Amino acid sequence: MHPRLTLALTIMEALAIFAYAISGLIEARTRRLDAVGTFLVAMATAFGGGTVRDVLLERRPFYWVEHQGYVIAIFVMSLFAPMLLKMTSRLISERALLVADAVGLGLFSISGTSLALDAQIPWFTAVMLGVLTGVFGGVIRDVLCNEVPLILRDSRPYATCAFAGCWIYVLLDYVSFDTVYSVLIATAFILLARLVTFRFDVRLPH
């Protein structure tokens, strides 16, 4: 089971990393940053949440230290960002990006909660670390670009979806449900919750 879990987590993080890096690229291009600035923002968006989580949980080495390939891939993407985004804007609709970002939110949040539970962090705090892992990359991206972080401004549920999904994972983990299925179910829940609430324009009270 453990190797399967490791594999599942690895694939999850890979998907999430690219979805987040692209959201960083888009934001950086909107600000007309140069290639290096684009790279830094894309890196911070993709790895910011996981790195803060690892600093808090004292996990080493960082994901991006062990997996240099991602760093190089994001670097190349940043060099060709103008071309890449023109191409993707034809191939990939805004809806596709929304889905990719929701996949990232689900995958990162659940991986964060899972690692926190492994580290004997109590439930509520583990859920919070999961949400932090999911949303913090975007917060850094927006702070760097001098904006109030999107998750703080937008009243559409985002962190809230991650929050609910992380609790589902904690519950499944508590009843000793198979880990891989738990990960998939909780991630799917966050993905669906985000897409459904977005589609029907559900707003949180404020």
Please give the residue ranges that form the binding site for a copy of itself (CB under 8 A).
Answer: 28, 31-37, 40-41, 43, 51, 55-56, 58, 60, 62, 64-65, 68, 71-72, 75, 82, 121-125, 128, 131, 135, 139, 143-149, 151-153, 155, 157-160, 163, 204-206
At its nearest, how many Å lie between a copy of itself and the CB of residue 96?
Answer: 25
Q: Which residues contact 46 (CB under 8 A, 6 or more apart)?
A: 17, 18, 20, 21, 24, 70, 74, 137
How many contiguous H segments (helices) and E segments (strands) does the chain have? 10, 0
At its nearest, how many Å lie between a copy of itself and the CB of residue 206?
Answer: 4
- The packing angle between helices 2-30 and 94-118, to 10°, is 130
Q: Pick between residue 8 and residue 78 the one whose CB is nearest to a copy of itself.
A: 78
Angle CA 16–19–24, to nearest 5: 120
Rounded-to-integer distance, Cα 50 and Cα 143, Å: 17
At its nearest, how many Å lie between a copy of itself and the CB of residue 18?
Answer: 17
At its nearest, how many Å lie between a copy of itself and the CB of residue 171?
Answer: 17
Q: Pick between residue 60 and residue 90 the one whose CB is nearest to a copy of itself.
A: 60
Q: Pick between residue 82 and residue 196 the one whose CB is nearest to a copy of itself.
A: 82
Q: Pick between residue 103 and residue 142 the one whose CB is nearest to a copy of itself.
A: 142
At its nearest, how many Å lie between a copy of itself and the CB of residue 93?
Answer: 25
Residue 67 backbone class (left: φ over 0; alpha: ψ -120 to 50; beta: rest): beta
Rounded-to-integer distance, Cα 103 and Cα 124, Å: 23
Q: Pick between residue 63 and residue 169 the one whose CB is nearest to a copy of itself.
A: 63
Pair 123, 115: CB distance under 8 Å = no
